[in-house]
Chain A
Amino acid sequence: MEELVFTRPRYLKKTPFHYCPGCGHSIIHRLVAEVIEELGIGDKTIGVPPAGCAVLAYDYFDVDMGEAPHGRGPAVATGIKRILPDRIVFSYQGDGDIAAIGTAETIHAANRGENITVIFVNNSCYGMTGGQMAPTTLLGQNSTTTPGGRDARRDGAPIDLSEILALTQGSVYIERTAVSSLKNIIKTKKAITKAFKAQMAGKGFSLVEILSPCPTNWKMSTIDACRRIDETVVQTFPLKVIKDETE
């Protein structure tokens, strides 16, 4: 007797991912789709993809998806949610999208307590454009625009956007996780579930920052990239619940 133990989540389309081998987006897409299915919100969820590696997210998620200009996800999501307050609205954003060009939109959406969920994928570089320095690039990390490594005096230090967002009155739940190991992937799914539940309960702004490997631009094997997250990236971006006011 055969038993089905693993299948494609209901809310992922049957489209092969374009992501590089070892990229964290594929895992994170799957987790978000699983959470949408488990919470039974697939027919009332509207997603807002970013500009960046995940720009084609609308080709994968089988829910309504509306594209935002680079960094403007939280503003577009605000417009959708205010018109349709009983729908579930999430934006999916990379570190450049959310912590550089979209900083203002993100901080103010959080500060207004917009009842939306943000999936913030931090791979510490601009992946799609070829590995330039991101606001989250670690000190000393090589990128195509930080020859010799990121230097705090020349390039500034990595920005702790999630910690900044936690200072706003309107944010209710912010957690930083990773997809570098099975254990971390399970924790990430729990965090995504909690973030969506916060929105379903109308509590306010929720965000999950997910440290994600970029083997292509880090010029590493997938295993080494995951090890780098666990050993190095977490030194700058520690995995933790940064704010939880959902209870």
Chain B
Amino acid sequence: MDKKQLMRGSQVIGEAAVRAGCRFYAGYPITPQNELPEFMSGAMADLEDGTFIQAESEIAAINMVIGASMAGARAMTSSSSPGISLKQEGISFLAALELPAVIVNVMRGGPGLGNIAPSQGDYFQATRGGGHGDYRSIVLAPAHGQELADFTRDAFEYADRYRTPVMILADGMMGQMMEPVVFPEAVNPSELPPKSWILDGAQERPSRIIRSLILDTVEMEEHNWKLARKYRMISNEIPRAETYMTEDARLVVIAYGTAARIARGGIRRAREMGLKVGLLRPVTLWPFPDRAIREMSRLVKDFMVFEMNTGQMIEDVRLALEGRSNVHFYGRPGGIISTPDEVGKAISSLYYRQHLKEDR
């Protein structure tokens, strides 16, 4: 086990990617994630088999990742919200071509150019696919430095296992914050399981095609169902959620990423006032941990979704609950970072409004 290191979030992702065997990175500058491509430029230069390309655009960067993935490499690109919009074409192709790749979104305020402050405005884009066509991407939502390291490793593992793009959905706060991290052991790319589908020249085997154009409607339908079966398998295998002080909770806050971290502080303050409040934190945003939420609804009749946006994940919470419990919302869009005190007040006012203080 490696020792603890103090590192900035963006660089944690970079170091973890290299340790996961990532040998190809292409990106384009955008705040607040520039430390990640800067880190990768040095890290890849230090490796004999590493490639770093500062691409001419976000679109070129994701397409370089497509090529590197076709050639068998563990490949990554990163950006922030407006840049991720530009990458959507490539993400749709990655899903259609069934290519593994890792995409990091260090979210900032939007829409449009918005600002460079932390936000969670891209939840819909990330979890609904974002690009065109009938596909999904795996979306992981770290909340602190250690998870940036751990989930980056997971992202590459999932991408290879399911041959599909995986997004790490972070935000400007996580990207900039320095925290102590212990990294997982480094993987040697040459020791990873060989990929039977890559394009490396038809030596002593028939030539291969990687394509997404399927003009025949029956064949296209079968490809869509094949992808759907894969997505169903992923939905059964990897949903993850974490709970905090939920054992006796009458009100459970549902929040992810930085919002979940702030919510913990709010919950501690509410607990000090004697309120029975807990936290459920989705760790995978797609697949959404709806079973964990549904199970909790047997004991909890009030949920408060807290997001750094005007209300996006709340739709998945409602879908998970199917009317079993009340769903309330507290959100701050635009790059505003709520304080734990503020969230604590939102929790307590809801708690009293719903008469949860009274004995049942």
Contacts and interface: CB of A to CB of B under 8 A. Distances in A.
7 contacts: A64-B199, A64-B200, A66-B70, A78-B67, A79-B26, A87-B200, A104-B60
Contacts of B59: 72, 75, 104-105
A87 B57 CA distance: 25
A68 B68 CA distance: 12
B203 interface: yes
A65 interface: yes
Nearest to A46: B199
B60 A75 contact: yes
B309 to A, nearest CB: 29
Interface string A72-106: 10011111111110010000000000000000110
B93 interface: yes
B324 interface: no
Given A55-B213, A66-B70, A67-B210, A108 B56 contact: yes
Interface in A1-60: 42-46, 48, 55-56, 58-59
Interface string B207-248: 111111100000000000000000000000000000000000
Interface string A146-172: 000000000000000000000000000
Nearest to B64: A79
B97 interface: yes
Contacts of A77: 67
Given A72-B66, A82-B68, 6 more contacts: A44-B201, A58-B211, A62-B202, A65-B208, A67-B211, A87-B200
Interface stretch (B71-79, B140-148, B160-168, B283-291): B71-79
Interface of A: 42-46, 48, 55-56, 58-59, 61-69, 72, 75-84, 87, 104-105, 107-108, 112
B313 to A, nearest CB: 30
Nearest to B206: A62
B72 A83 contact: yes
B132 to A, nearest CB: 11
B89 A83 contact: no
B24 interface: yes
Given A69-B89, A83-B68, A64 B201 contact: yes
The 3 closest A-B pairs by CB, nearest first: A79-B67, A75-B63, A83-B71
Interface residues of B, number: 40
B210 A66 contact: yes
Contacts of B23: 83
Interface string B26-58: 100000000000000000000000010101110
Contacts of B70: 46, 66, 76, 79-80
B342 to A, nearest CB: 44
A191 to B, nearest CB: 24
A45 B67 CA distance: 14
B80 interface: no
Tell which of A56, A61, A67, A79 has the most Cβ of chain B within 10 Å: A79
A83 B207 contact: no
A128 B305 CA distance: 49
B57 A104 contact: yes
Contact of A65 (B73, B89, B93, B209): B209
B93 A69 contact: yes
B65 interface: yes
B110 interface: no
A59 B213 CA distance: 11
A222 B208 CA distance: 34
Contact of A78 (B64, B89, B199, B212): B64
A72 B207 contact: no
B90 interface: yes
Nearest to A64: B199
Interface in B290-342: none
Nearest to B75: A79
A105 B89 contact: no
Given A65-B210, A67-B210, A105 B202 contact: no
Contacts of A69: 63, 66, 89-90, 93
A42 B73 CA distance: 22
B10 to A, nearest CB: 22
Contact of A104 (B56, B71, B199, B204): B56
A67 B212 contact: yes
A67 B213 contact: yes
A34 to B, nearest CB: 17
Given A79-B66, A80-B67, A65 B199 contact: yes
B14 to A, nearest CB: 18
Nearest to B24: A83
A65 B207 CA distance: 8
Which of A44, A59, A61, A72 is packed against the most chain B CB atoms within 10 Å?
A72
A81 B64 CA distance: 10
A83 B90 CA distance: 19
A45 B203 CA distance: 10
Nearest to A78: B64
Contact of A63 (B56, B57, B61, B207): B207
Contacts of B26: 79
Contacts of A76: 63-64, 66-67, 70
Nearest to B205: A43
A97 to B, nearest CB: 13
A136 B201 CA distance: 33
Contacts of B211: 58, 65-67
A46 B203 CA distance: 11
